[in-house]
Protein backbone atom coordinates (compact mmCIF):
# COMPACT_ATOMS: atom_id res chain seq x y z
CA UNK A 1 0.00 0.00 0.00
CA UNK A 2 1.19 3.51 -0.80
CA UNK A 3 2.61 5.37 2.18
CA UNK A 4 0.47 8.33 1.11
CA UNK A 5 -2.65 6.41 2.18
CA UNK A 6 -1.58 6.95 5.80
CA UNK A 7 -2.49 10.62 5.46
CA UNK A 8 -6.12 9.66 4.91
CA UNK A 9 -6.48 6.86 7.46
CA UNK A 10 -7.66 8.89 10.47
CA UNK A 11 -10.33 11.22 9.15
CA UNK A 12 -9.88 13.92 6.56
CA UNK A 13 -6.37 14.89 5.43
CA UNK A 14 -5.01 18.41 5.69
CA UNK A 15 -2.29 19.01 3.10
CA UNK A 16 -0.34 22.28 3.30
CA UNK A 17 1.97 23.46 0.52
CA UNK A 18 5.16 25.47 0.98
CA UNK A 19 7.77 26.75 -1.49
CA UNK A 20 11.17 25.38 -0.51
CA UNK A 21 13.82 28.01 0.15
CA UNK A 22 11.57 31.03 0.65
CA UNK A 23 13.14 32.88 2.39
CA UNK A 24 15.66 30.08 3.08
CA UNK A 25 15.72 26.33 3.66
CA UNK A 26 16.10 26.61 7.45
CA UNK A 27 12.81 28.53 7.57
CA UNK A 28 11.19 25.97 5.29
CA UNK A 29 12.27 23.14 7.60
CA UNK A 30 10.92 24.94 10.65
CA UNK A 31 7.62 25.64 8.86
CA UNK A 32 7.22 21.98 7.90
CA UNK A 33 7.78 20.88 11.48
CA UNK A 34 5.25 23.43 12.76
CA UNK A 35 2.70 22.36 10.16
CA UNK A 36 3.02 18.72 11.17
CA UNK A 37 2.88 19.58 14.87
CA UNK A 38 -0.37 21.44 14.25
CA UNK A 39 -2.23 18.80 12.29
CA UNK A 40 -0.84 18.49 8.76
CA UNK A 41 -1.17 14.86 7.66
CA UNK A 42 0.73 15.17 4.36
CA UNK A 43 3.07 17.96 3.24
CA UNK A 44 3.53 19.29 -0.30
CA UNK A 45 6.99 20.71 -0.93
CA UNK A 46 7.34 23.02 -3.91
CA UNK A 47 10.63 22.86 -5.80
CA UNK A 48 11.09 26.36 -7.28
CA UNK A 49 11.00 26.78 -11.05
CA UNK A 50 11.56 29.87 -13.16
CA UNK A 51 8.30 29.52 -15.10
CA UNK A 52 5.65 28.00 -12.78
CA UNK A 53 2.70 28.17 -15.15
CA UNK A 54 0.07 26.79 -12.76
CA UNK A 55 0.87 29.27 -10.02
CA UNK A 56 -0.67 32.62 -9.20
CA UNK A 57 1.39 35.68 -8.24
CA UNK A 58 1.88 34.70 -4.57
CA UNK A 59 3.61 31.39 -5.33
CA UNK A 60 5.31 32.76 -8.47
CA UNK A 61 6.98 35.43 -6.37
CA UNK A 62 7.99 32.83 -3.78
CA UNK A 63 9.64 30.82 -6.56
CA UNK A 64 11.55 33.91 -7.67
CA UNK A 65 12.73 34.72 -4.14
CA UNK A 66 13.86 31.14 -3.52
CA UNK A 67 15.78 30.93 -6.78
CA UNK A 68 17.36 34.34 -6.19
CA UNK A 69 18.47 33.03 -2.80
CA UNK A 70 20.40 30.20 -4.44
CA UNK A 71 18.10 27.25 -3.76
CA UNK A 72 18.79 24.16 -5.87
CA UNK A 73 17.07 20.80 -6.22
CA UNK A 74 20.09 19.11 -4.67
CA UNK A 75 19.94 21.35 -1.59
CA UNK A 76 16.23 20.60 -1.26
CA UNK A 77 16.92 16.87 -1.22
CA UNK A 78 19.43 17.46 1.56
CA UNK A 79 16.76 19.41 3.48
CA UNK A 80 14.31 16.52 3.10
CA UNK A 81 16.91 14.11 4.47
CA UNK A 82 17.22 16.32 7.56
CA UNK A 83 13.44 16.58 7.95
CA UNK A 84 13.11 12.82 7.79
CA UNK A 85 15.09 12.52 11.02
CA UNK A 86 11.88 13.42 12.85
CA UNK A 87 9.03 14.08 10.37
CA UNK A 88 7.12 10.87 9.64
CA UNK A 89 4.05 12.07 7.71
CA UNK A 90 4.04 11.44 3.95
CA UNK A 91 5.63 14.19 1.83
CA UNK A 92 5.33 14.87 -1.89
CA UNK A 93 7.05 17.25 -4.26
CA UNK A 94 5.16 19.62 -6.49
CA UNK A 95 7.27 20.97 -9.31
CA UNK A 96 7.45 21.11 -13.10
CA UNK A 97 8.50 18.56 -15.67
CA UNK A 98 11.52 20.57 -16.74
CA UNK A 99 12.94 20.48 -13.21
CA UNK A 100 12.85 16.68 -13.25
CA UNK A 101 14.21 16.51 -16.83
CA UNK A 102 17.06 18.86 -15.94
CA UNK A 103 18.03 16.85 -12.87
CA UNK A 104 17.59 13.58 -14.75
CA UNK A 105 14.39 11.62 -14.16
CA UNK A 106 16.04 8.44 -12.83
CA UNK A 107 18.44 10.42 -10.66
CA UNK A 108 15.54 12.53 -9.35
CA UNK A 109 13.37 9.53 -8.46
CA UNK A 110 16.32 7.73 -6.86
CA UNK A 111 16.98 10.80 -4.71
CA UNK A 112 13.27 10.91 -3.78
CA UNK A 113 13.42 7.31 -2.61
CA UNK A 114 16.70 7.72 -0.74
CA UNK A 115 15.59 10.85 1.10
CA UNK A 116 12.14 9.55 2.01
CA UNK A 117 9.80 11.35 -0.38
CA UNK A 118 6.55 9.58 -1.23
CA UNK A 119 5.10 11.22 -4.32
CA UNK A 120 5.47 13.68 -7.17
CA UNK A 121 3.00 16.18 -8.64
CA UNK A 122 3.78 17.73 -12.03
CA UNK A 123 0.98 20.18 -12.89
CA UNK A 124 2.30 20.81 -16.40
CA UNK A 125 2.43 17.11 -17.30
CA UNK A 126 -0.58 16.24 -19.51
CA UNK A 127 -2.27 12.97 -18.64
CA UNK A 128 -1.50 11.68 -22.14
CA UNK A 129 2.24 12.23 -21.60
CA UNK A 130 2.56 10.75 -18.11
CA UNK A 131 4.34 7.66 -19.45
CA UNK A 132 7.44 9.84 -19.79
CA UNK A 133 7.73 9.66 -15.99
CA UNK A 134 5.42 6.87 -14.79
CA UNK A 135 7.71 3.85 -15.37
CA UNK A 136 10.67 5.38 -13.56
CA UNK A 137 8.42 6.56 -10.69
CA UNK A 138 6.91 3.10 -10.29
CA UNK A 139 10.33 1.46 -10.37
CA UNK A 140 11.47 3.84 -7.64
CA UNK A 141 8.35 3.42 -5.50
CA UNK A 142 7.27 7.05 -5.91
CA UNK A 143 3.59 7.80 -6.60
CA UNK A 144 3.04 10.02 -9.65
CA UNK A 145 -0.03 11.95 -8.54
CA UNK A 146 -2.63 12.89 -11.13
CA UNK A 147 -4.63 16.11 -11.27
CA UNK A 148 -8.28 16.43 -12.25
CA UNK A 149 -9.46 19.88 -13.35
CA UNK A 150 -12.96 21.26 -14.01
CA UNK A 151 -12.11 20.92 -17.71
CA UNK A 152 -11.24 17.20 -17.44
CA UNK A 153 -14.93 16.27 -18.01
CA UNK A 154 -15.15 12.92 -19.83
CA UNK A 155 -11.52 12.13 -18.92
CA UNK A 156 -12.21 12.14 -15.15
CA UNK A 157 -13.12 8.44 -14.98
CA UNK A 158 -10.07 7.42 -17.01
CA UNK A 159 -7.70 9.52 -14.87
CA UNK A 160 -9.28 8.20 -11.67
CA UNK A 161 -8.96 4.54 -12.69
CA UNK A 162 -5.21 4.92 -13.19
CA UNK A 163 -4.51 7.15 -10.18
CA UNK A 164 -1.77 6.54 -7.63
CA UNK A 165 -1.29 7.92 -4.12
CA UNK A 166 -4.14 10.39 -4.12
CA UNK A 167 -6.05 12.38 -6.70
CA UNK A 168 -5.53 16.13 -6.72
CA UNK A 169 -8.83 17.78 -7.66
CA UNK A 170 -8.35 21.35 -8.89
CA UNK A 171 -11.22 23.41 -7.49
CA UNK A 172 -11.26 26.23 -10.04
CA UNK A 173 -10.09 27.22 -13.49
CA UNK A 174 -6.95 29.32 -13.66
CA UNK A 175 -3.87 29.41 -11.46
CA UNK A 176 -3.36 28.90 -7.74
CA UNK A 177 -4.41 31.65 -5.35
CA UNK A 178 -6.92 32.47 -2.65
CA UNK A 179 -10.53 32.84 -3.80
CA UNK A 180 -13.53 34.35 -2.06
CA UNK A 181 -15.80 31.60 -3.30
CA UNK A 182 -15.50 28.34 -5.20
CA UNK A 183 -18.31 27.83 -7.69
CA UNK A 184 -17.18 24.69 -9.53
CA UNK A 185 -19.56 21.70 -9.31
CA UNK A 186 -17.07 19.68 -7.32
CA UNK A 187 -19.62 17.19 -6.02
CA UNK A 188 -20.16 15.71 -9.50
CA UNK A 189 -16.40 15.45 -10.04
CA UNK A 190 -15.96 13.66 -6.72
CA UNK A 191 -18.92 11.39 -7.52
CA UNK A 192 -17.27 10.29 -10.77
CA UNK A 193 -13.97 9.73 -8.95
CA UNK A 194 -15.69 7.59 -6.30
CA UNK A 195 -17.33 5.47 -8.99
CA UNK A 196 -13.98 4.64 -10.58
CA UNK A 197 -11.39 4.31 -7.79
CA UNK A 198 -10.91 3.88 -4.07
CA UNK A 199 -7.84 6.16 -4.18
CA UNK A 200 -8.41 9.15 -1.85
CA UNK A 201 -9.05 12.55 -3.40
CA UNK A 202 -8.13 15.99 -2.07
CA UNK A 203 -9.29 19.39 -3.29
CA UNK A 204 -6.87 22.28 -3.80
CA UNK A 205 -6.55 25.71 -5.49
CA UNK A 206 -8.25 28.67 -3.84
CA UNK A 207 -8.88 27.34 -0.33
CA UNK A 208 -7.73 29.74 2.39
CA UNK A 209 -10.30 29.94 5.21
CA UNK A 210 -11.48 27.40 7.79
CA UNK A 211 -15.00 27.72 6.38
CA UNK A 212 -13.85 26.86 2.85
CA UNK A 213 -11.77 23.97 4.18
CA UNK A 214 -14.74 22.59 6.10
CA UNK A 215 -16.93 22.74 2.99
CA UNK A 216 -14.31 20.92 0.91
CA UNK A 217 -13.87 18.24 3.60
CA UNK A 218 -17.54 17.38 3.30
CA UNK A 219 -16.98 16.59 -0.38
CA UNK A 220 -13.54 15.00 -0.50
CA UNK A 221 -11.02 13.06 1.58
CA UNK A 222 -8.69 15.98 2.10
CA UNK A 223 -7.98 19.67 1.60
CA UNK A 224 -4.88 21.29 0.07
CA UNK A 225 -3.87 24.86 1.01
CA UNK A 226 -0.93 26.69 -0.52
CA UNK A 227 -1.11 30.39 -1.35
CA UNK A 228 -2.39 31.44 2.09
CA UNK A 229 0.61 29.74 3.71
CA UNK A 230 3.11 31.13 1.19
CA UNK A 231 1.66 34.60 1.81
CA UNK A 232 2.33 34.22 5.55
CA UNK A 233 5.93 33.23 4.81
CA UNK A 234 6.37 36.33 2.66
CA UNK A 235 4.89 38.55 5.38
CA UNK A 236 6.82 37.15 8.35
CA UNK A 237 10.00 35.87 6.71
CA UNK A 238 12.26 34.00 9.10
CA UNK A 239 9.67 34.51 11.86
CA UNK A 240 7.01 32.69 9.82
CA UNK A 241 7.11 29.18 11.37
CA UNK A 242 5.00 30.03 14.43
CA UNK A 243 2.54 31.99 12.29
CA UNK A 244 2.27 29.12 9.82
CA UNK A 245 1.75 26.67 12.67
CA UNK A 246 -1.06 28.77 14.12
CA UNK A 247 -2.70 29.06 10.70
CA UNK A 248 -2.57 25.30 10.13
CA UNK A 249 -4.06 24.75 13.58
CA UNK A 250 -6.95 27.08 12.69
CA UNK A 251 -7.59 24.97 9.59
CA UNK A 252 -7.36 21.58 11.28
CA UNK A 253 -9.09 22.12 14.62
CA UNK A 254 -12.53 21.82 12.98
CA UNK A 255 -11.68 18.50 11.40
CA UNK A 256 -14.03 15.62 12.18
pLDDT, one tens digit per residue, over 114-135 is: 999 999 999 999 888 999 999 9
Helix axes 240-252 and 210-219, enclosed angle (nearest 10): 50
Question: For residue 178, is it within any domain?
Answer: yes
CATH of the domain at 137: 3.20.20.70
CA distance 2 to 120: 13
For 38-83, where are the alpha helices, taking DSSP H only?
57-68, 73-83
pLDDT given at position 172: 64
Question: For residue 255, is it within any domain?
Answer: no
pTM value is 0.93
Percent of the chain whose pLDDT exceeds 70: 93
Domain membership of residue 49 as a residue range:
3-248
* Cα separations in angstroms, 146 against 28, 163, 236, 246: 25, 6, 33, 30
Question: For residue 56, is it within any domain?
Answer: yes
pLDDT for 146 beyond 50: yes
Contact 204, 224 (CB under 8 A): yes
Amino acid sequence: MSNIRKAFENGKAFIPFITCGDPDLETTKACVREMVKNGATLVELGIPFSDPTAEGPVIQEANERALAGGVTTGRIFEMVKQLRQDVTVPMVFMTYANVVFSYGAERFVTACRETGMDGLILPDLPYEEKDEFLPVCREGGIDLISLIAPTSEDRIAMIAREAEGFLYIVSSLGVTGERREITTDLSSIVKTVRENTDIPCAIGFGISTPEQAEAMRKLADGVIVGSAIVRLVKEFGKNAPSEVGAYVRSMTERQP
